[in-house]
Structure 1
Amino acid sequence: MRTDTGQLFRLEDYRPSDYLIPQIHLTFRLARDTTTVVADLTVERRAGTEACAPLVLDGDGLKLKRIELDGYGNPAHEATSGKLVLTNLPEARSFRLLIETELDPDRNKALMGLYRSNGVYCTQCEPEGFRRITYFLDRPDILSVYHVRIEAAKAEAPLLLSNGNPVAGGELGDGWHFAEWHDPHPKPSYLFALVAGDLGCLRDSFTTMSGRTVELAIHVEHGKEKLAAYAMDALKRSMKWDEDAFGREYDLDVFNIVAVSDFNMGAMENKGLNIFNDKYVLADEATATDTDFANIEAIIAHEYFHNWTGNRITCRDWFQLCLKEGLTVFRDHEFSADQRSRGVKRIAEVRTLRALQFPEDQGPLAHPVRPRRYREINNFYTATVYEKGSEVVRMLRTILGAETFRSGMELYFERHDGQACTIEDFLKVFEDASGRDLSQFGLWYNQSGTPNLTIKASYEAGTLTLDIEQSVPPTPSESRKRAMHIPLAFGLIGSDGKETGFTAAEGATVENGVIHVRKRSHKLRFHGVPERPVLSLNRGFSAPVTLAIEQRPEDLAFLVGHDSDPFGRWQAFNTLLTDALIAGYRLLLGGKEANYQKDIAKLAGRIATDATLEPAYRALALTLPSEADIARDIGRDIDPDAVLAARSTLSAFIAAANREPFGKLYEELEDRGPFRPDAASAGRRALRNVVLGYLARLEGGADIAERHYRTATNMTDLIAGLGTLAHEHAGSPRTDAALADFAARHATMPLAMDKWFQIQSTTPGTKALETVRALMRHPAFHIDNPNRVRALLGTFSTGNQTGFHRADGTAYAFFADALLEIDGGNPQLSARLATAFRSWRSLEPARQEKARQALVSIAGANSVSVDLRDIVERSLA
């Protein structure tokens, strides 16, 4: 574990390497006690590099056993566990270098490089894990053709996988065997993969648009093959969609997926050999919720889509991470929208962005979509890079139009296939395809913070005037921000509920229903508007901005019933709910009762029973803003206890006002047929379970929740019933009995037990911390398993606002100690968990000070990893 302060890397310091490695032959001899790796490298001196230039290879904790140069024995070198420097190299432009290293995969608890878990050898090399396997130029702009030979005891590892296509295999004697793999496509070291072990397999095939047959396989623990059926279906749909939507065909003879239980990430797109956290592969109605099915579909697609946006075209350096991640998130969002409901999917995306990325933009961990500096790249796999990066690509399509955007993507694939590229390369193809200057739009990649648009509207004599002010708040690394190019989709709705037009617009470019906000200030006039319209702004969430606009409650209610944009309708009602919750919060802080208007309860009832709306949409609309959402919109001096009280009061108010229609709807939506994971069925379950949450707050609600749990025929309803009991009736005998029953029924199912831990870690109340402490001592809790740690500690710190932000600060101290314990084995996990402190400055002063003390205690501890120290120091800055 690296515990130094970490080198500061700057985008402006990027330089090409002096050497290239066009080919690498790797031989692995896998054994429990000692694994050896022999790397046979073809090294080329880059044109213009002096013959005397040293070759400096990256390493991390390596044990060097042998080194040979062109077969002549030891070259002049200096080796440490973290670096190998070779001098007095041959004057020839190309030479061969052989390096043998020795590894201990069983002791690798960081889960980076080559590790062994549950009897399976596995690799994770992004971003800098390959240097834990052998000394190498471990950077994304070094593209190599890989040939891999794996040797292992057949009884221990009958399955031997690597990237590319299988080319050889056979017996070696003494119970050992081997397999050889060749990947013809040059790739960076972060995409290298190896898996060896004893696993079951689900097989299928796919015929590409050119008629080639690709053999597909998903490898899982024995006995779980049937649980991979939905993932296989999602893979085949992904392959077909990428051909239809982007013209991208798969380019190898085989495509392998391996599911493992110990994995730091969700999944990894290694060329031809995707490695997955098993929670994003395994599913059936008895083990997975509808959310799990949707996530599996999206993540299977995401990793497959990386084959072109990430693998065939990769990033030049890690500052360009969004080039592959933001673009591929956009692609998987589009896939899911086409597979499910586009409107519902868009609302879900925005909720995720606001919950994860907006707080990042507003806190000490803010950074641009393309960061300009970092100490630890592991800490920049963030919502800003992924989710906001996707929104930037979406805005680009909005500005250019779908047809021109598709032409730009085709030019991107044609021009840059097989290259390591930059954001400038990406934007240039769209400039060439459209003839537009995108230099101002490029600021979205280079400026941090969430832009705000303040809009004042007035109407007089057929002219609608909008005064638009743009501001980008300062962040720790940037004080003065330039005006952005913001595409603001809009609509004008007349009194009859239909779109109304205008004859002309002046003061800003308006085209295809989009206002192009490019300056700090616009006075935009729409002429020929027949009546005062109701404004629908930022339709489809066309730009990741906040809006400050005074809209009358009656106008928002009008939009709820008439806006043709699904996102606009949802946003209008969500704004009404948020305004009511904040008003209730302020009353509670003032010692008064939080009174709510009957209109909002009536509107909720109308939405719930409107059969013209998709059930999934109604479920989203009726879901109150979370405690974290409310706190974010309040902005400062947050008292989490008052936020929870305001939310609980509004929820009970809406439930009481709609007891009869909610009860009727709950009965009507009961799923009496066979389980189906499709979007329509999932939407019906989602609406029924949201209604259950309201009914559980009323008299007799515990009976309804318990019956829901006891009669559930699928995991979605089972978890809804258990969660409702635990959260609304915590500590009751029936809740304790249900929790015990679930644990007994699912004790051998780790993914189900993760849900059991999550439910208890998010139960509000004064005993939340004591519950989490006790669960850490539970036999099913393993601090070395990232899924289990995220389920308990991650969920507690981000999903239990009153429990984590206890007024006495004891939860902060407990969490700090847990982070340090985790950090000793898995720095990447500890650092990601530590981001739970990112909004500590928005709390009321007493909690702020206690959170600060916890962060200081981590910073002052001995042997803190670079990963964790980086997050803590930036949080304190």
Structure 2
Amino acid sequence: MREGTANLIRREDYVAPIFWIRTVDLCFDLDPAKTLVTSKMRLERNAAVAHGPLRLHGEELNLLRVLIDGESVSFRTEGHELVIDNVPDADFTLEIRNTCCPEKNTSLSGLYTSGGGFFTQCEAEGFRRITYFMDRPDVMAVYTVTMRADKARFPVLLSNGNLLETAELDNGRHLAKWHDPFPKPSYLFALVAADLVAREQRIRTRSGKDHLLQVFVRRGDLEKTEHAMNSLIASVVWDEARFQLPLDLERFMVVGVSDFNMGAMENKGLNIFNTSALLASPATATDADFQRIESIVAHEYFHNWTGNRVTCRDWFQLSLKEGLTVFRDQEFSQDMAATPSARAVCRIQDVRGLRARQFPEDAGSMAHPVRPDQYVEINNFYTATVYDKGAEVVRMYQTLVGRDGFAKGMSLYFERHDGQAVTCDDFAQAIADANPGSALSTRLDAFKRWYAQAGTPRLQARGHYDAATQTYTLALQQVNPPAPGQDGKLPQVIPVALGLLSPDGQALPLMLQGEDGAAGATDTERVLVLDQAEQSFVFVNVPVAPVPSLLRGFSAPVVLEDGLGDAELLVLLKHDSDAFNRWEASQRLALARILGAVRSGKPLTLDAAYLDAMRAVLRHPALEPAFKALALQLPDEAYIAEQLSDVDPQAVHAAVAAAQEQLAAALQADWVWAYDAHQVAGGYQPDPVQSGRRALSNLALSMLVLQATRSGDTVWPGRAYQRFKDAGNMTDRLGALSALVNAHAELADSALARFHSQFKHDALVIDKWFALQGRAAEQEGRTFARVKQLLKHPDFTLKNPNRARSLIFSLCMFNPAAFHRRDAAGYVFWAEQVLALDAINPQVAGRLARVMDRWTALAQPYRSAAREAIARVAAKPDLSNDVREIVERALAMDPQWAAVSPASDAPAAAPAAEAAAQG
């Protein structure tokens, strides 16, 4: 990076620590302005590495004393490190006393205050803001923690593990002592001291052990924790049943806090959650909120084994825990959904998220492998690639070895590595070794290229049917486009789940040429493994020219180019037994029409065949409402833009808006039927059946309000306003409000004012109010103007990450038409907000900076204006590493900038062939 910024950290430079820390005794005298931290550590030299001084990380600390075995010792500081040169060769005790100031910690990393209480966030490198320490994930120690605080202000004192002792102290203070018997890295440390109440549940697991589950929240929020507790119980049960992984502590605690940079954190035995990922009631949370909470609670609990009991050797291995645990929470959500249709909806939603977040990342300035090779600021690599693409890599393991084989591999992984800090290669080896002779074990080195190569492979497929021999030849080819620092890439292992359909929709048996006549004679789905640049597969005994259904269930994170036209896609949409490909067909039909309009520059006119197909989906008696709601939604504008090399966001928006209006008008009677037929009677439940019915009825309402507003009719806007007022749950209330706001109906402002008045004391609901306006469909600059005005609203603040995300991120990240303005006002707005956030919370600022990753794909005049805004941010001399790394990598996509940048700015060279796949 440029002179004055942090050093580049490279994976290839990893060296094991010179010292191990075996035990840590921490004592906190908690005070918002000046917290005293005393740390006593038992250290020993690592005999496997060369001698050197002891180096401890520390930031924004006031050091008071350093003792070794009770004696004062000389030390020095180098940057953010405390260096002690003369330490004993034998084991020794190091005592450090320092203070920190939690109330001034606006970064929300380390120990900070929120709502009058103390909270911590130590991943990735926050512990160094609490005390001096070897703050790296491969240093694992057993912690004992004592906290002292004012009892009236902080009646609840929590830390990791099991409670050993409580006591009353003088001057109204009290004490709590906790001990975690499991060695853990510092990033998993947690502390909470606040005025909280708890929902408690005692459970007995399959192993016959009793455990206490606790969900702590501020007073007044307890009634909103039932769903989180039920999700936690379900997670404990599922993990023990599916993977034989039991809860291993006497208690498991979850704590909610309003000020939090992430969704949640998996600290050992003491998970700390953003309240947005924890609190829910029918009156204040939507179906999507309930689903998100279930998923995140599960994710953090599952980390207890995949991340805590076995952790990362270094931060380059982040996907070892995150990709694996995302896969596990996705599997959990599908199992909780129960029915095949509900499971398919979960999968579709996961893939939509992958395409919306990760595919653009793979094509942008911050593109990196699932296991990055280098970074400046590790916070910038908590990315969709590490999480979501990492989860797809784990899913491919399961596809290649089977569900049972994957479970065997997981068992071997924990048998080998419990209590250790390991690498992605260790996980890969365990899965392969547990399944000798599998499609994975015979291709392991090639498969691990998924960890080493950035970018999204493109899978090209073409079929040829020979009627005389009744054979169907499927030719597959993979193309791996260049990524930053990686020009020549090797073929990857791509599992391709497929079926073949006859023109009338019948599933055809699949047997490959050369197979035994009995083998596969009746199978109608199978998995092909593409591990070369090009391969052909010949199917025999195929009675008719088939329609291929490829990449079923999205069996690999690739872009499929199969050349299918409308006729074949309509067959898949009508008949495919794979719900994912059925949904995919609906999206591809819409995408082709929208892209055709954008590329031609002509107004979009939807043809009768497409409209009839959408009507058939809507009226289909066997399809679940949740699936219909997904199939009838048009592709996101951002996803459409990813298909273009020269993006005019306003042209994309115009085509999408035209498609929506025509769908609304042409299917008006069908939307009326859908709205009326899918009302939910009885009490609210956020289950797949009710959620699906509400999703479809709210989609129908939005279409009816849109059509009515455009035609001047007042009936449906009036009905939407009445539904908004009378709704018995937040899903329907917000659905009606969204319909009015997105159509820019006359009643929208009145409804927004009423909503704010009704929920002004509930921060999470007001976040929804801001977000709805930030994401509102743009019309003649109204949305952008409203967002700028809302920055001055008394309820808006940049200091709370949820509130900042609700308005600013909603506009910049999720509303392309409002953000990408021809007058460049959106880019000026972005630069101002990035700089303002960077001054108080670099992590949040870094996330907002990512909006410009794909600026070079924009058409003019957007491209030049975007570059100017990025350069303005980059010119700020005191930028955080979080933001500087992102904007300088964005500018490096511009040849003019790259020409004057130092050589050290350039990404590392592509790794050599097979070396790329190794750890």
Please confirm whether the aligned pair reaches a TM-score higher than 0.5, indicating the same fold: yes
Is 1:558 aligned to 2:559, yes or no? no
Deviations 1:156-211 (A, max 9, x none): 10000000000011111110100000000000000000000101111112211111
CA distance in 2: counterparts of 1:802 and 1:817, whole angstroms:
19
2:475 to 461, 467, 473: 467
In the TM superposition, structure 1's runs of 4+ consecutive aligned residues that sit over 4 Å from their partners are 48-51, 509-512
* 2:445 corresponds to: 439
Contact 1:62 / 1:81 at 8 angstroms: preserved in 2?
Answer: no
1:602 to 609, 612, 628: 612
- Report the alpha carbon displacement of residue 86 of structure 1 after superposing the two structures with TM: 0.4
CA distance in 2: counterparts of 1:632 and 1:796, whole angstroms:
18
2:105 to 86, 90, 108: 108
* 1:88 corresponds to: 86
* 1:129 corresponds to: 126
Is 1:248 aligned to 2:257, yes or no? no
Deviations 1:378-427 (A, max 9, x none): 00000000000000000111011112111111101111100001011011
CA distance in 2: counterparts of 1:180 and 1:502, whole angstroms:
63
Contact 1:218 / 1:228 at 8 angstroms: preserved in 2?
Answer: yes
Is 1:581 aligned to 2:594, yes or no? yes
Is 1:744 aligned to 2:757, yes or no? yes
CA distance in 2: counterparts of 1:686 and 1:482, whole angstroms:
43
Contact 2:494 / 2:556 at 8 angstroms: preserved in 1?
Answer: yes
- Report the alpha carbon displacement of residue 652 of structure 1 after superposing the two structures with TM: 1.6
AA aligned opposite 2:649: P
* 1:687 corresponds to: 696
Contact 2:56 / 2:134 at 8 angstroms: preserved in 1?
Answer: yes
| Cα distance change, pair 3–707 in 1 and its aligned pair in 2 (3 A) | farther
3-state DSSP of counterpart to 2:182? strand
Is 1:522 aligned to 2:522, yes or no? no
AA aligned opposite 2:86: N
Q: Which runs of 5+ in 1 are unaligned?
A: none
Is 1:57 aligned to 2:56, yes or no? yes
| Cα distance change, pair 869–402 in 1 and its aligned pair in 2 (3 A) | same
3-state DSSP of counterpart to 1:439? helix
CA distance in 2: counterparts of 1:845 and 1:273, whole angstroms:
50
* 2:289 corresponds to: 292
CA distance in 2: counterparts of 1:496 and 1:593, whole angstroms:
34
AA aligned opposite 1:402: R
Deviations 1:291-333 (A, max 9, x none): 0000000000000000000000000000000000000000000
CA distance in 2: counterparts of 1:504 and 1:473, whole angstroms:
30
Q: TM-score, normalised by structure 1?
A: 0.97
* 1:535 corresponds to: 548
Is 1:620 aligned to 2:630, yes or no? yes
- Report the alpha carbon displacement of residue 594 of structure 1 after superposing the two structures with TM: 1.5
CA distance in 2: counterparts of 1:559 and 1:359, whole angstroms:
27
1:819 to 810, 834, 844: 834
Deviations 1:89-117 (A, max 9, x none): 123x2000000010110000000000011
Is 1:661 aligned to 2:667, yes or no? no
Contact 2:472 / 2:539 at 8 angstroms: preserved in 1?
Answer: yes
Deviations 1:747-802 (A, max 9, x none): 00000000110111112131322211111110110110000000001111111111
Contact 2:502 / 2:547 at 8 angstroms: preserved in 1?
Answer: yes
1:207 to 204, 209, 221: 204
Contact 1:669 / 1:684 at 8 angstroms: preserved in 2?
Answer: yes
CA distance in 2: counterparts of 1:204 and 1:444, whole angstroms:
42
After superposition, residues 184-333 of structure 1 pair within 5 angstroms as 184-333=181-330
After superposition, residues 635-784 of structure 1 pair within 5 angstroms as 635-699=644-708, 700=713, 701-729=716-744, 732=746, 734-763=747-776, 764-765=778-779, 766-784=781-799
AA aligned opposite 2:258: S
* 2:904 corresponds to: none
| Cα distance change, pair 639–506 in 1 and its aligned pair in 2 (3 A) | farther
CA distance in 2: counterparts of 1:607 and 1:502, whole angstroms:
28
CA distance in 2: counterparts of 1:316 and 1:446, whole angstroms:
17
After superposition, residues 37-56 of structure 1 pair within 5 angstroms as 37-49=37-49, 53-56=52-55
Is 1:486 aligned to 2:501, yes or no? no
CA distance in 2: counterparts of 1:56 and 1:630, whole angstroms:
50
CA distance in 1: counterparts of 2:569 and 2:640, whole angstroms:
19
- Report the alpha carbon displacement of residue 712 of structure 1 after superposing the two structures with TM: 1.6
- Report the alpha carbon displacement of residue 506 of structure 1 after superposing the two structures with TM: 6.6
CA distance in 1: counterparts of 2:510 and 2:79, whole angstroms:
69
CA distance in 2: counterparts of 1:237 and 1:523, whole angstroms:
45
AA aligned opposite 2:480: V
Deviations 1:193-244 (A, max 9, x none): 0000101111112211111111111111101101001000000000000011
Contact 2:58 / 2:80 at 8 angstroms: preserved in 1?
Answer: yes
Higher mean Cα deviation, 690-699 or 107-116? 690-699
CA distance in 2: counterparts of 1:525 and 1:305, whole angstroms:
42
3-state DSSP of counterpart to 1:564? coil
* 1:421 corresponds to: 422
Q: TM-score, normalised by structure 2?
A: 0.93
AA aligned opposite 1:356: R
1:453 to 452, 456, 459: 459
Contact 2:702 / 2:740 at 8 angstroms: preserved in 1?
Answer: no
CA distance in 2: counterparts of 1:827 and 1:254, whole angstroms:
34
Kindly report the root-mean-square deviation, in angstroms, between the aligned alpha carbons of the 2 structures.
Answer: 1.6
CA distance in 2: counterparts of 1:147 and 1:541, whole angstroms:
46
Is 1:611 aligned to 2:611, yes or no? no
- Report the alpha carbon displacement of residue 4 of structure 1 after superposing the two structures with TM: 4.4
| Cα distance change, pair 503–781 in 1 and its aligned pair in 2 (3 A) | closer
CA distance in 2: counterparts of 1:580 and 1:33, whole angstroms:
60
1:571 to 584, 590, 604: 584
AA aligned opposite 1:467: A
CA distance in 2: counterparts of 1:867 and 1:376, whole angstroms:
6
| Cα distance change, pair 496–593 in 1 and its aligned pair in 2 (3 A) | closer
CA distance in 1: counterparts of 2:188 and 2:355, whole angstroms:
31
CA distance in 2: counterparts of 1:836 and 1:707, whole angstroms:
37
AA aligned opposite 2:631: A
Contact 1:165 / 1:182 at 8 angstroms: preserved in 2?
Answer: yes
3-state DSSP of counterpart to 1:600? helix
Contact 1:11 / 1:319 at 8 angstroms: preserved in 2?
Answer: yes
- Report the alpha carbon displacement of residue 49 of structure 1 after superposing the two structures with TM: 4.8
3-state DSSP of counterpart to 2:706? coil
Deviations 1:664-696 (A, max 9, x none): 120121223211111111111001111112112
CA distance in 2: counterparts of 1:655 and 1:505, whole angstroms:
49
* 1:26 corresponds to: 26
Aligned length in residues: 866
Contact 1:605 / 1:662 at 8 angstroms: preserved in 2?
Answer: no
CA distance in 1: counterparts of 2:621 and 2:139, whole angstroms:
56
Deviations 1:343-376 (A, max 9, x none): 1100001100000000000111100000010000
* 1:384 corresponds to: 385
| Cα distance change, pair 652–158 in 1 and its aligned pair in 2 (3 A) | same
CA distance in 2: counterparts of 1:818 and 1:651, whole angstroms:
32
Contact 1:146 / 1:184 at 8 angstroms: preserved in 2?
Answer: yes
Contact 1:506 / 1:526 at 8 angstroms: preserved in 2?
Answer: no
AA aligned opposite 2:369: P
* 2:180 corresponds to: 183
Q: Which runs of 5+ in 2 are unaligned?
A: 893-919
* 1:16 corresponds to: 16
